[in-house]
Amino acid sequence: MNTYTKEDLKKAVVQGDSERTKKLLKCGISPNVTDEKGVHCLHLAWRRDHTEIADLSFQYETNAGGREIGEKESLLSIVLNNNPLRKSHLEIIKLLIQYGVTPDTAEDVDIGWSLRNYLLEDDNAPSSKESEPSLSELIEENIYADDPKLNDEELLELLELLLQCGFGKNTNLLDFFVCSLFFDTNSINYGCEPRCTSILLKHGVTPNMTDENGTTAFMHSAQFPFSGEIADLLLEKEPNPLPKDKNDKTTLMYASEGTNMGIALKLLQRGVPVNAVDGLGKTALIYLLQSDFYDEGCDDEGFQLLNALLENGADPNIKDKEQKTALMYAVEHNYKKAEEILNNKIKTIEIS
C-alpha cells in the first residue's frame, strides 16, 4: 500500500501534474502544505499558471480566503493578479464569492481591498486597513473609470449577487444609494431603466435610512435633478416627507437646492411646510435662488419650481442668518427673470 506525503503533493503541484495532484487530494493529503517561504502549495499553482490544479484550490481548500503564512497574501489577491483560468472578470468574482470569499469578510480586510483594487486597476491600497472598503468604494469608481473592467450590465449583476449573499451588512449602503443615483441618472440619459436604484430598494434600502448627519436617503436623492422615474420608485416606498437633518434642513430644501422638480412637486402636493427654516435661517426658496438653477438647459425647470414654491405660499421676504432674502440671492446671481418674478410677488404681498 502506497503512503503519500505532503511532499508528494507539493512535487505534483510544482510539476503541474493535475491528475496526480487530484489523486493525492482525494487520498486525504491536506492541501495546506507550504513551501520553504510559507507559500500555500495550491496558491503556488495559481502563480505557475497551472490552470487545472489552481481550480482545485477551491474544491479542497477549507478557507479559500485564507492568507499565505509567509507573504500574508490572500488567495483572492493571487487570483485577481494572475487570472490563469482566463475567465471574464465577473466570472472570477462570482467563483470567489461561491467559495466564500467576499469583500465583506471583516476578518480579512485585505480581501475587500484586493477586489476594490482589481476593479479599479489600482495597486495602491490605503496604508491604513482598519476598516474594509464600503460598497460604494468597491464599485462606484469603476462606474467612472476610463476603461472599466465591468460594463454596466456586469456591474448590476455583481451588485445583485453581492447583496444576495449578504454583502452590505458591514458597509454603508446609504453611501452606495447615492452612487446608484449617479449611475441611474446617466443610464436614463441613454434610454435605460433606473435599475441600480431598483436593486437596492429590493434588498432593503429605504428612503428613510439616515446617515450620521440625520440626512435621509430621500434627502440625498432630492439633491439630484433626475427624471420622474427615480422619484416614482422612491415615492412607492412611502418616504417620510417631514424629517429634518441635524441642521434642521428639510427634504424640500434639498429638492429646491438640487432643482429636483419631480420630488419638490410631490412634496408640495403633500402639504409640507414651505416656509420652514433650517439652522442657517434658510428656506426652500432661498436654497433655490442660491443654487445654479439658471444654468443653460435647466432654467425652465428652475423657474417652474420657483413659481410652484411661490404659488404654495413661499415667503420671499424671509431673511436668513446672513440677513439675505431670496431676492437678494437672485440679484447676487444676476437672475434677472427671477428678480422680476420675486419683485412682482413682493408687490402683491404688500398690496394685500
C-alpha cell at 159: 451588485
pLDDT score at 284? 96
Task: Check: CB of residue 145 under 8 Å from CB of residue 183.
Answer: no
pLDDT in the model for residue 166: 67
- Average of per-residue pLDDT values in the chain: 74
Give SS3 for 322: coil
Which of 74-78, 90-94, 233-237, 267-271 shows the highest mean pLDDT? 267-271
Highest-scoring range by mean pLDDT, 77-81, 101-105, 128-132? 77-81
pTM for this structure? 0.66
Q: What's the rounded mean pLDDT across residues 172-196?
A: 72
Which pLDDT score, from 0 to 100, does residue 100 have? Answer: 60
Per-residue pLDDT of 276-312, as tens digits, reads: 999 999 999 999 999 876 544 445 777 889 999 999 9
Superfamily of domain 211-352, CATH level 4: Ankyrin repeat-containing domain (1.25.40.20)
The helix-helix angle for 135-144 and 173-189 (nearest 10°) equals 20
pLDDT digits (tens, 9 = 90+) for 148-160: 667 778 778 877 8
> Given 1.25.40.20, 1.10.150.530, 3.30.930.10, 3.50.50.60, which CATH number is that of 1-82?
1.25.40.20
Residue range 201-213, pLDDT digits in tens:
888 788 888 888 8
- Interval 106-127 mean pLDDT: 50
20 vs 101, higher pLDDT: 20
Cα 157 off chain centre by: 14
Q: Given pLDDT bands bounded at 50, 70 and 90, which one contains residue 19?
A: confident
Query: According to the model, what pLDDT value does residue 222 have?
Result: 85
Distance CA 309, CA 303 (A): 10
* Longest Cα–Cα distance in the chain: 108
Which residues of the chain does CATH 1.25.40.20 include? 1-82, 211-352
pLDDT given at position 169: 56
Q: Give the burial class of 212: count Cβ atoms within 10 A of its Cβ; 0-12 exposed, 13-18 middle, 19 or more buried.
A: exposed
Q: 256-280 pLDDT, tens per residue?
A: 998 888 889 889 998 999 999 999 9
More confident of the two residues 249 and 14: 249
